[in-house]
Amino acid sequence: MKLAVGADHAGFDLASSLADWLRGLGHEVVQLGATSTERYDYPDASDLVACHILGGQADLGVLVCGTGIGVSIRANRYPGVRAAECTSTTMAELARGHNHANVLCLGSRILSPDEAKQITARFLESPEDPGDRHVKRVGKLDAERVC
């Protein structure tokens, strides 16, 4: 699978560890965003991963910042990107199944490296549920709305 892994400075170490681990599992991984723990803004990392997903350069994405919140907020501004912050394997499975999430967001200050690996593994192995109720709702998530 082709994966885009992005991070800000707070998520750099965890994202690098995940990228290496994912490569070891046989995935094709491009690492985006911060290249060290020097300041790097999370919206920029989110933009890079979102563009890789929407441009077809990656099947799925993983974003890491301190909490996972900032990267999630930014990535979800792109129609067609469904970024889900997950703090458990159950959340990861349901995000993929029910919401057809295509970007996993993690918090380096929230999760241990082992927890992050378990959540990422569940996210990657979980299929999208093709049921009509989920497909209909995902269509609403992807639709541009004006108030």
β-bridge partners, 103: 61, 83
Catalytic residues: 65, 98
Cβ-Cβ contacts under 8 Å for 84 (sequence gap 6 or more) = 72, 91, 92, 95, 99, 101, 103, 104, 105
| Cβ proximity of 61 and 102 under 8 Å | yes
4 near 30, Cβ under 8 Å? yes
Cross-strand bridge partners of residue 105: 63, 85
DSSP 8-state class, residue 86: -
